Structure 1
């Protein structure tokens, strides 16, 4: 009897691939939810639930507020992966290259896997605001809200994937790296200065009809537009909007499939000749090598451009309200952001650390410090001088903070890079996602936030000195910067020389080597904290910046400069007699949260 083998239908094969990838994603997540990753996921999930609750509250208020909230969620999905190493890539396209899957089938499978995780679940909760809006408009609107919610979530996820894939391709050219850095920096600064636009809308009488229409025309507002149309009995418009959303999902899926094909392809190396590097000293050789890396590594170009765009736009945003008090701080803000973006100074080099270890007495740390100052310093000085000249001051505070923060950044960045080393991916192994410079992007993101806070704190002595003694505080800022550069650099250099082999082992394997008998070792890390203490440390380190900077440092600077805005700064809404005590309390609360997290970690290491 003859047996005929018929191939499985393409649809069945696609469904099987999707189910398989979803199962793989669940298995990986189930076995990786431990250590620092579990703490970061718990912290991020808590913050996400708070934001989802705020979105549901907006759904009970008005459709315009809900549309604005969904626009913010869409921007979060697009920009979030930029600052977390390319987003969730538990399943990477490179893993399936040898299977010969068609691009569209691979994209469908990866898309199904992308819906498995904490972020999609929280976004789905926020999108239930469509159902709330439907309940307010009648049963017909509720029926439309269900498919609208699912389609809207698919749009968010696919926009995120397309943005990451397109950014990865753009980062293969210098023009693309600079362009994406500018766009991302401006958008994130706009989100950080959202209070400016809220006040501007309030002065304009709320969300204008024109802005309301624009929010509905954005892809984030299509689901709400369909629900509102169904509630008004306009079924033709509701069906048209749902159909357009489904078409957008299909187009985004096809675009992602095409980008995946380019991603897994081999990147062509530049054959342009370069001038040879020359140096007469060991430190000079490191400086030359680092400057060459800054000029060649497009990820560093993107990071530097992003920091410039963020600092300028963040400081200039209040000009919308006619307030120029923040403009002089563009330079200091740029320094702090540049330090945070380059927190993984040794991680981005991968296992190239062995080159340093084979040269006895190499002045690697000092050379990297000098190169960092040569790259960041001129830009910071130009921004500080130009923006302060526009407003006419405050010169002492700006000059003192610029000097102190430059030294603090040059000292803190290498110090954190060797004391809290996060294993990085070798540059030639970054694959199709150049943003993924580390296998543990959650830890690298946490270190970036820590560097941001620590560098900002190095400017505190200079700020206090200027507030008390005026121009004499500039000397304090210069002295603080020099001491931070020299002292923290010395500690980093000693650590690199004493524990270089262990650091290289960590870089190669992603795990800290076990301590031998009688050795202090590298134990007592965050991963070894009990689960309850990991959560406490993660929450403390995450929320500490809120009272310290937006509710403490920023209103203090506004009061020092006699700014007229109160915005969302709690202290400035209180009577004059209570403002400074509340500012001091907020600063102490932020420092206390940081101190609590650090004390728990230190106590565990000692134990």
Structure 2
């Protein structure tokens, strides 16, 4: 117990001193979004209690797969910190588990699980009393499942086969969740969640708490005890498994012993290209990210086959490009302090070399995937080809641009611990960066989509031109930024501290320099702007043009016909306005304090 309390105090101290700047903004934004979801879950306990097991299953999946996007999850206290203390694995795991409940995510999840108490109170006093240990055990199960999943993924990323397998599984599951409405339609359920889903989710660990409460309400004490005992047994098994996995984290990185072909590049740009291609083929984290993007694109596009509709298959290629760009958003940050090699090599065109390598890693796979699946559906369409070309250029341009303008200090690859996904301390910032690059890359395809709608096959040239301009223009901006701010970026990656504004300079405000209110506004705009823009706007408009009978959760398609197009246009405008507001709030021009003092002094003198 003393070890656990000490770890709790350590984590509280770390969190208290790190609640500043960009990290604080992301934590506040995440807390607000989580609070809304938790309140919605509690509301279901009042109105649609039958859906609780399905909703809690989603919460459980969020705990398991959230670390894939959040930089390996919350590891404020890493097991490596306590290697020299000599704690037994089970005692170390118990202490880390207790400390894991200190944070925003456990508190939000605990609030969402109070829906069990609300449901139990509606059934009677006895059920309400049983709900208290049920929700506490349920929370411990969620946290332990997350820790074991992260440990298993870290173990998988120690081998190429494991990295590929983990990427395929994660991509399949998350794509299925993204297309869950297709599963519902395929099961013949167009209104709400199919009853079979609520039945099946009762057998998942996320549903055992509700089963215990229901059993207590009906007087079935044997079933209630079995559900609570099952969760307690699962906690013991997960804790044992986590303790065993913690012992495997030591020595997670091993130098390869097999021979390597020497690089024979004769130019600086060629050396960068060769180095990047080797990184894409040898870095297991990048292997996992690329495999995940591929699996997500294929599974997301193949999901409508359950409804006997293959029209979305060719879009697997563009979706793969979008996800590949998003997953590699922090390209420079993931390399750590290796930037010093570029800074010490005069004339090295590092950005162009990275762009070429990214295209060589992504483009061939995307083109083959798109064209081969387009043959199945009757041949490629102009819209498909134009959007693919635009996205390839947009991704190749935005990835280096985002990684130098919004760089997040990362861990050197050779210093990664047993959790390779934990490449940075600012996991919330990484998540926001992933979604921002995803949305911005998608926006680069808008001119191509409009052009093909108006011009047909001639719009493919517009898509190609858009891709070339994005590749060249964004790459040029990234290269200029790297040349001008290279030493500052290297210092930031080395120390983790962002460079201070230069005296007398008038420039754009950094995100961490914004007020708390401005940070919250910007984060709300960036994280929720995609909802009206894409699903409620662009996708709804596509379904309207194609005269599809699917309405799903697209608001405009439930309205009278004369209101549908105005609603779609309004949603698109609203989404663009939200992103614009976020950009304006985040990058307002601001005078530095030195310049402001000089202005005041000159005014007083006059």
Report the TM-score range of the alignment, normalised by the length of the smaller protein. over 0.9
Query: Which of 362, 372, 376 is matched with 2:358 structurally?
Result: 372
Distance 2:562 2:317 in 1: 32
Give the equivalent residue in structure 2 for 1:538.
Answer: 523
1:449 to 435, 459, 463: 435
The corresponding residue for 2:567 is 582
Cα distance 1:210–1:593, how it changes in 2: closer, same or farther (>3 A)?
A: closer
Cα deviation, residue 162, structure 1: 0.3
Partner of 1:11: none
Give the deviation of 1:184 after TM superposition: 0.8
Contact between 1:64 and 1:207, CA under 8 Å: does it hold in 2?
A: no
* Aligned match for 1:508, one of 494, 500, 507: 494
Residues 520-569 of structure 1: per-residue CA shift (max 9 Å, x gap): 57x72111111111111111111111111111121222234333311111
Alignment of 1:174-253 (within 5 A): 174-201=160-187, 203=189, 211-253=197-239
What is the alpha-carbon distance in structure 2 between the residues aligned to residue 444 and residue 604 of structure 1? 24
Is 1:529 matched up with 2:538? Answer: no
Contact 2:54 2:201 (8 Å CA) reproduced: yes
Partner of 2:600: none
Is 1:594 the counterpart of 2:579 in the alignment?
A: yes
Partners of 2:158 and 2:252 within 8 A in 1: no
Aligned partner of 1:341 in structure 2 is: 327
Q: 1:356 to 1:204 in 2, by over 3 A?
A: closer
Aligned length: 592
Q: Deviations over 1:347-380 (max 9, x none)?
A: 1111000000111110111111111000100111
Whether the 8 Å CA contact 2:506–2:589 is kept in 1: the answer is: no
Q: What are the within-5 Å matches in structure 2 for residues 228-307 of structure 1?
A: 228-307=214-293
Instruction: Output one character per residue of 1:24-64: Cα deviation in whole Å (capped at 9) or x when no partner.
Output: 21222222222111211121111112211222232234454
Question: Once the 2 structures are TM-superposed, how far is the Cα of residue 241 of structure 1 from its aligned partner?
Answer: 1.7
After the TM superposition, which residues 41-440 of structure 1 pair with which residues of structure 2 at under 5 Å, given as runs? 41-201=27-187, 203=189, 211-392=197-378, 395-440=381-426
**Structure 2 counterpart of 1:571, from 542, 547, 556:** 556
CA distance in 2, matches of 1:391, 1:591: 32
Contact 1:43/1:542 (<8 A) preserved = no
CA drift of 1:399 comes to 0.3
Is this contact kept in 1: 2:331–2:399, CA < 8 A? yes
CA distance in 2: counterparts of 1:340 and 1:394, whole angstroms: 25
Is 551-560 or 55-64 further displaced after alignment?
A: 55-64
Contact residue 509 and residue 588 of structure 2 kept, 8 A: no
Contact 1:372 1:410 in 2 (8 A): yes
2:599 is matched with which residue? Answer: none
> Could you state the TM-score of these two structures normalised by the residue count of structure 1?
0.94
Q: 1:557 maps to what in 2?
A: 542
SS at match of 1:87: coil
SS state at 1:76 partner: helix
SS at match of 2:335: helix
- CA-CA distance at 1:604 after TM superposition: 4.4
Q: Deviations over 1:444-493 (max 9, x none)?
A: 22221111111111111100000111111001001111111111111111
Q: CA deviation at 1:393?
A: 5.3
- Find the counterpart in structure 2 of residue 12 from structure 1: none
> What is the Cα deviation at residue 391 of structure 1?
2.0
Q: Scaled by the length of structure 2, what TM-score is found?
A: 0.94
Question: Residue 452 of structure 2: which of 466, 472, 484 is its match?
Answer: 466
Task: Could you list the structure 1 runs, at least 4 aligned residues long, displaced by more than 6 angstroms after superposition.
Answer: none
Greater mean alpha carbon deviation, residues 339-348 or residues 554-563: 554-563
Q: Any conservation in 1 of the 2:556–2:567 contact (CA below 8 Å)?
A: yes
Contact 2:506 2:590 in 1 (8 A): no
1 CA distance for matches of 2:281 and 2:468? 26
Classify the secondary structure of the residue corresponding to 2:249.
helix
Check conservation: 1:311, 1:331, Cα contact below 8 A: yes
Contact 2:8 2:98 in 1 (8 A): yes
CA distance in 2: counterparts of 1:252 and 1:156, whole angstroms: 10
